[in-house]
Structure 1
């Protein structure tokens, strides 16, 4: 499963075990605009209970009330004349349905400016910008406006990882993106901060299940154009 951020052309790569051409794994990824969430929060203040603490990665059972607008948004892919007018309304409905679902706390946090999640978001954005530079947790904590112990606690609550684990995963995802673009394995490993090519290969295989060169070749062979949601 491959997703491309249309703003930055960055690849996000995930793996679905057991999927095949005969039994494909189907998924939908929908980005939520924080500005739209903030606007809805202002309009509907008090309409929903305060959001409790939440994990960044959450799941819930099938909800027909949420699946219906998602289906209508997909249908607009085949209605280019209607999409500019109707897609924003359907997206707004999806956000509202999410709020009313078991996943409600997470999308509500997206629209809040000074939550712990927002502060950790500033730190994760900084980690993504570091490339091969050295990461200092004290600097990240200061950026988030937290003590170092508090930062460690909130970082793991939001990302489910420690900062060093998050940085390693970000770097390996960047390596995957570069390898898909046919860059040399050794050059990529050194570019993302590894001093040992063998360590890079071990870490890459541990995350993605195959050596860097073989994995990238397999992904390139499977890539197909994906339609952009309206």
Structure 2
């Protein structure tokens, strides 16, 4: 079995390398499958880590290693692990092992709660999840069954005419393997209306749509059908941060995107657009999160392009 793991792991790395022709993230012919390739590490002390909103997904690293940081929690994974995010969360992603000879090669498969619900016809999968909240991201040990299903999905890029028929089958198998894994409850809870995670997810979706507006904890607690103390406790257990910290990260991520996509560097305008009333406070919190003032960060990032 270890030999089969090695063989499949090498094949996955070769497939990703063959279908990536440049550095960075690259889409594929399969809409929910993306690859990434980097030849140098990215750290918070050098180039600044990539920040972004991580969608519900599975991520495998075929070569190299990376960290994903959620709040105060750090998850490291490489070829022997897999990483799962069960909901939309603002994260930091750092490449920690990569070189010109051995670039990091990874794949990301996104999914939706409705895809999980489709599998609940299986009585074993339909069993009630634990009532305790599960952290929305985790790293687990990769096994042959899951790796084989992922490799078969990626192989479809070499035979695109098979994608319409086989892609849904392989995707369903991949989700099935994750749900039967050691942390399957964390994923199951986002589609189970009896779980705290399901209700916190609804509150998170509200914040995602209204992050520019003042945060009202009572409103979020009502959406989650919880008392305010219970809401605070479950929110932090699931996201590793408070609701205010969550909103702040969303605002700063959107402000950075706005500044990057604009020809000007009007910091005050970006601050007001994402909900800040004070450009000074915005600049201070931006520098705390990204390591640079907004103008210095834009000069640095736009100079790389």
The structure 2 residue matched to 1:27, chosen from 99, 106, 118, is 106
Q: Partners of 1:222 and 1:48 in 2: how far apart? A: 49
The structure 1 residue matched to 2:244, chosen from 148, 151, 164, is 164
Q: In the superposition, relative to structure 1, how do residues 195 and 2 fare at CA in structure 2: closer, same or farther (>3 Å)?
A: farther
CA contact (8 A) 1:155 1:161 kept: yes
Where do residues 202-221 of structure 1 align in structure 2 (5 Å cutoff)? Answer: 202-216=284-298, 219=301
Q: In the superposition, relative to structure 1, how do residues 76 and 222 fare at CA in structure 2: closer, same or farther (>3 Å)?
A: farther
Q: In the superposition, relative to structure 1, how do residues 26 and 142 fare at CA in structure 2: closer, same or farther (>3 Å)?
A: same
Higher helix share: 1
Higher strand share: 2
| Alignment correspondent of 2:223 | 143
| Alignment correspondent of 2:94 | 16
Deviations 1:138-195 (A, max 9, x none): 1111111111111111111111111111111111121122122126332111211223
| Alignment correspondent of 2:139 | 59
| Alignment correspondent of 2:272 | 190
Say whether 1:39 aligns with 2:118.
yes
Superposed displacement of residue 111, structure 1: 2.3
CA contact (8 A) 1:16 1:25 kept: no
Q: Which runs of 5+ in 2 are unaligned?
A: 1-23, 33-51, 54-90
What do you get for the CA RMSD once the two structures are aligned?
2.9
Deviations 1:21-48 (A, max 9, x none): 736443333222212211211x211368
CA contact (8 A) 1:205 1:211 kept: yes
TM-score, normalization: structure 1?
0.81
Superposed displacement of residue 49, structure 1: 6.3
Q: Which runs of 5+ in 1 are unaligned?
A: 224-230
Q: Partners of 1:32 and 1:152 in 2: how far apart? A: 27
The 4+ residue runs of structure 1 with deviation greater than 6 A are 1-4
